[in-house]
């Protein structure tokens, strides 16, 4: 087995589902199938050196990686790699606004730089913010180049716009905290907005109604209705009331059209589902007949 250190060229890729957690980890290079590798931006993360240069930030690359695996299926390698980067950068920016020693003036400058999205904005930032800002610009440029090869670079502008909106909200929140301002929710404007029944309120109402119905539902007793078709059975039937039982004695009434008879019986009894118990061919015929008229039906494929 050929073990290589995690920082070798090979391991810009991590084999799923056990990504390495430190620079001392080893990977079996020969055992890894190239088509089954999950591409994770390890070298990009290592060069940024969050632990050393941004001690206030949570080092969450592995966590973000598994978050994104819950969004995309494994074969969407490019999407997993790029969204892991973006989510991790977002986490760093969030920590910068919440957990760093940055002044409110510095945080406002960073927001201004993000809104401008220009390299020249670097000059106005302190050194640790320059690192984050430059990484954001470089990362989005790389993503845009990769997407351009697929003719889909237009999507990057939407991602940039979303990040600008998010950082703008972070900055607004930081200003509120700095000023000691606690926003009031129960304002006239808020009530007017809710009263207009926006889509988010409509959707929330539907979800709440469904949750209420699920929690409050009390299952009722199951009522079983019986259709029994056989020879000489009239005298042997017991245990069922007549309104829930149909008996067809073939010795007296002859052989019926089973498919049509069972469909009529289900409708007469108001049943929600039918369980068919007969010989295999008959079971298939009856179940298929139910399906053609939209009745849920189940039946064995053997004679029980």
- Whether 195 is covered by a domain: the verdict is no
- The mean per-residue pLDDT over the stretch 258-285 comes to 78
Residue 10 in domain? no
**Looking at the domain assignment, is residue 211 inside a domain?**
no
Residues 170 and 245 in one domain: no
Q: Which domain holds residue 176?
A: 26-182
The per-residue pLDDT for range 23-57, each reduced to its tens digit, is 333 333 344 334 333 445 667 777 888 778 899 89
Task: Show which of 160, 182, 204 is a domain's final residue.
Answer: 182
Residue 48 inside a domain? The answer is yes
Closest Cα to residue 226, out of 262, 278, 279, 272?
Answer: 262
- pLDDT confidence band for 58 (50 / 70 / 90): confident
Same domain, 227 and 178: no
How many structural domains does the chain have? 2
Three-state secondary structure call for residue 279: coil
DSSP characters over 190-235? HHHHHHT--HHHHHHHHHHHHHHHHHH--PPPPP--EEEEESS-GG
User: What pLDDT shows up at residue 177?
Assistant: 92
Among the three residues 159, 182, 205, which one is the final residue of a domain in this structure?
A: 182
What is the rounded distance in angstroms from the CA atom of residue 14 to the CA atom of residue 16? 6
Instruction: Give the CATH number of the domain where residue 34 resides.
Output: 1.10.600.10
User: Is residue 13 a part of any domain in this protein?
Assistant: no
Query: Do 177 and 261 share a structural domain?
Result: no
Indicate if the alpha-carbon torsion angle 164, 168, 171, 173 is positive or negative: negative
| Whether residues 96 and 147 fall in one domain | yes
Mean pLDDT of 111-125: 96
- Express each pLDDT in 102-114 by its tens digit: 999 999 999 999 9
């Amino acid at each position: 087995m050929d073990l290589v250190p995690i920082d070798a060229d090979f391991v810009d890729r991590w084999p799923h589902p056990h990504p390495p957690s430190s620079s001392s980890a080893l990977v079996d290079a020969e055992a890894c199938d190239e088509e089954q590798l999950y591409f994770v931006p390890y070298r990009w993360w290592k060069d940024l050196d969050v632990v050393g240069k941004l001690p206030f930030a949570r080092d969450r690359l592995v966590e973000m990686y598994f978050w994104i695996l819950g969004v995309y299926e494994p074969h969407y390698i490019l999407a997993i790699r790029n969204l892991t980067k973006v989510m991790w950068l977002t986490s760093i920016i969030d920590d910068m606004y919440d957990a760093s020693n940055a002044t409110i003036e510095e945080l406002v400058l960073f927001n201004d730089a993000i809104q401008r999205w220009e390299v020249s904005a670097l000059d106005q930032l302190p050194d640790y913010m320059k690192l984050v800002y430059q990484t954001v610009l470089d990362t989005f440029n790389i993503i845009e180049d990769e997407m351009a090869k697929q003719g889909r670079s237009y999507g990057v502008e939407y991602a940039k716009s979303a990040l600008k909106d998010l950082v703008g909200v972070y900055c607004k929140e930081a200003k509120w905290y700095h000023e000691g301002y606690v926003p009031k929710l129960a304002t006239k404007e808020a009530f007017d907005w809710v009263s207009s029944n926006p889509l988010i309120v409509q959707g929330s109402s539907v979800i709440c109604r469904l949750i209420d119905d699920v929690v409050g539902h009390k299952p009722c007793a199951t009522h079983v209705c019986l259709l029994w078709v056989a020879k000489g059975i009239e005298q042997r039937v017991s245990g069922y009331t007549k309104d829930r039982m149909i008996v067809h004695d073939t010795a007296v009434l002859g052989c019926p059209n089973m498919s049509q008879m069972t469909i009529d019986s289900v409708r007469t009894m108001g049943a929600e589902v039918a369980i068919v118990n007969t010989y295999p061919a008959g079971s298939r015929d009856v179940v298929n007949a139910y399906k053609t008229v939209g009745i849920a039906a189940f039946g064995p494929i053997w004679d029980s």
